[in-house]
């Protein structure tokens, strides 16, 4: 009898242990009424002179020995190789003094904190605001904190060099997985949402991958999993295979993990064109049905819109399986549809895909990559997060881009080339 009780206890323990690991990331709050409220926006002409490689003279516990500074729209981002770390800052300028307020985050762990930086007039401020500036030595000084605590640890970043000619002359796509990251990265916003797409450029991405499903009434929308579940959504009344519900029911009753609504494909692409500078969109088809005709129609329409808006933007339809490839070739003039093929190179040629995208666990496959590049195609590798392999693939591989959950880390290794 006791044995049974023991088995029972072990069983109950096993069941109880099926709960979440309880990860909580404390989001640092930057005071909007702080110093930035009294400054002017950073002049666009100053931004390129700030970009480059900086030596970390103080603050290596968070920033390592060397960092990359890169602007994306109004965000100044800092990328480091340490724990796939990054910082995202808003900036302002007054009297040739630059102020930056934001947060830093280790992507591989849950550590985060506030960050404040400043460029004084004598340490680069004057150079950056000069009419005929050609750049020069810039020093950022400031402080950082841990969690929601105010910053009191010193950080000093000294300009080392601008980006190399190789970086400036070779386009490399840093593609953020699921619009910017997974729910398991605890970014404060949910995967595959407009909110995370908005943040993706701050993480270092210049392109994104998003997942496309199809509602029962034929509306393509952005969602990864087959079912409505607690990994992706908040608890609600609608459960089961998400593609078995109409778009209206999904819109009315499904709320994503961090409170967002599921965006339709049209909403997402429209948002990308209107609100971001992203240059590459990879639509990963996840439907159990044939969504290619309707997705193609939407993509072609959005590409036209992007062209009118003079956006440097590519949108490609991913072909992850033979089924999707077979669905594609049934479409009239399929060779003119912009696609990205994850299958072998014969399938790439059959679909006339612009890009080939093998899984990273197959290695750099450099001879095949070069062969396809000679045919005028590109090659991406997915979904690579291992820091050592990211470095190796960038230094040894010949890919045109990389899909990752750690765009800041890819950005660091790419921009330091």
Site for another protein in 327-366 (CB under 8 A): 358-366
Q: How far is the CB of 91 from another protein (least distance, A)?
A: 29
Distance CA 13, CA 19 (A): 11
**Closer residue to another protein in complex, CB, 162/320:** 320
How large is the C-alpha radius of gyration of the chain?
23
Q: Of 38, 73, 122, 229, which lies in the binding site for another protein, with binding defined by CB under 8 A?
A: 229
By CB under 8 A, residue 236 contacts another protein:
yes
Tell me how far, at minimum, the Cβ of 389 lies from another protein, in Å. 6
Q: How far is CA 365 from CA 172, 234, 311, 345, in A?
A: 17, 41, 32, 12
We find the least distance from the C-beta atom of residue 322 to another protein, in angstroms, to be: 13
What residues numbered 356-415 form the site for another protein, per CB under 8 A? 358-366, 385-389, 392-393, 396-397, 405-406
- Which residue's CB is nearer to another protein, number 73 or number 288? 288
Q: How far is the CB of 220 from another protein (least distance, A)?
A: 17
Residue 140 or 210: which CB sits closer to another protein? 210
Touching another protein, residues 106-165 (CB under 8 A): 106, 108-110
Query: Least distance (Å) from another protein to the CB of residue 50?
Result: 30
Contact 415/113 with Cβ under 8 angstroms?
no
Candidate list 31, 95, 154, 217; residue touching another protein; CB under 8 A: 217
> Could you give the string, one character per residue 52-91, with x where binding to another protein holds by CB under 8 A and - elsewhere?
-------------------------------xx-------
Q: How far is the CB of 386 from another protein (least distance, A)?
A: 6
Cβ partners under 8 Å of residue 204, min gap 6: 70, 72, 77, 79, 86, 174, 176, 407, 408, 409, 410, 411, 412
User: What x/- string results for residues 93 through 112 when contact with another protein is judged by CB under 8 A?
Assistant: -------------x-xxx--
User: What is the closest distance, in whole angstroms, from the C-beta atom of residue 349 to another protein in the complex?
Assistant: 20
Site string for another protein, 13-32 (x = CB under 8 A): xxx-xx-xx-x---------
């Amino acid at each position: 009898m006791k044995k049974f009780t023991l088995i029972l206890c072990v069983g109950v323990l096993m069941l109880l242990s099926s709960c979440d690991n309880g990860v909580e990331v404390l989001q640092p709050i930057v005071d909007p009424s702080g110093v930035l409220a009294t400054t002017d926006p950073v002049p666009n002409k100053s931004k390129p002179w700030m970009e480059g490689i900086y030596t970390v003279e103080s603050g290596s516990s968070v920033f390592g020995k060397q960092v990359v500074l890169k602007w994306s729209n109004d965000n100044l981002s800092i990328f480091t190789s340490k724990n796939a770390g990054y910082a995202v800052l808003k900036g302002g300028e007054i009297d040739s003094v630059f102020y930056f307020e934001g947060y830093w985050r280790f992507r591989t762990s849950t550590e985060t904190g506030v960050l404040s930086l400043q460029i004084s007039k004598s340490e680069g401020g004057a150079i950056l605001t000069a009419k005929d500036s050609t750049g020069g030595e810039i020093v950022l000084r400031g402080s950082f904190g841990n969690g929601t605590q105010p910053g009191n640890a010193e950080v000093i970043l000294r300009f080392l060099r601008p980006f190399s000619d190789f970086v400036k002359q070779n386009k490399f796509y840093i593609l953020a997985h699921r619009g910017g990251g997974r729910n398991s990265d605890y970014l404060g916003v949910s995967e595959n949402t407009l909110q995370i797409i908005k943040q993706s450029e701050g993480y270092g991405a210049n392109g994104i991958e998003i997942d496309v499903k199809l509602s029962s009434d034929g509306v393509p929308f952005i969602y990864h999993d087959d079912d409505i579940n607690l990994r992706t959504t908040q608890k609600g009344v609608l459960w089961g295979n998400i593609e078995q519900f109409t778009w209206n029911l999904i819109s009315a009753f499904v709320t994503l993990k961090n409170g967002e609504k599921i965006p339709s494909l049209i909403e997402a692409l429209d948002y990308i064109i209107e609100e971001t500078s992203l240059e590459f969109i990879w639509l990963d088809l996840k439907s159990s049905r044939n969504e290619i005709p309707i997705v193609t129609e939407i993509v072609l329409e959005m590409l036209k819109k992007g062209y009118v808006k003079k956006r440097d933007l590519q949108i490609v339809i991913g072909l992850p399986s033979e089924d999707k490839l077979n669905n594609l070739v049934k479409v009239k003039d399929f060779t003119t549809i912009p696609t990205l093929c994850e299958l072998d190179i014969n399938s790439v040629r059959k679909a006339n895909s612009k890009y080939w995208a093998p899984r990273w666990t197959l290695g750099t496959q450099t001879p095949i990559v070069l062969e396809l590049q000679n045919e005028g195609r590109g090659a991406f590798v997915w979904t690579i997060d291992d820091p050592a392999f990211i470095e190796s693939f960038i230094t040894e591989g010949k890919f045109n881009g990389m899909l990752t959950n750690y765009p800041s880390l890819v950005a660091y290794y790419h921009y330091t080339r």
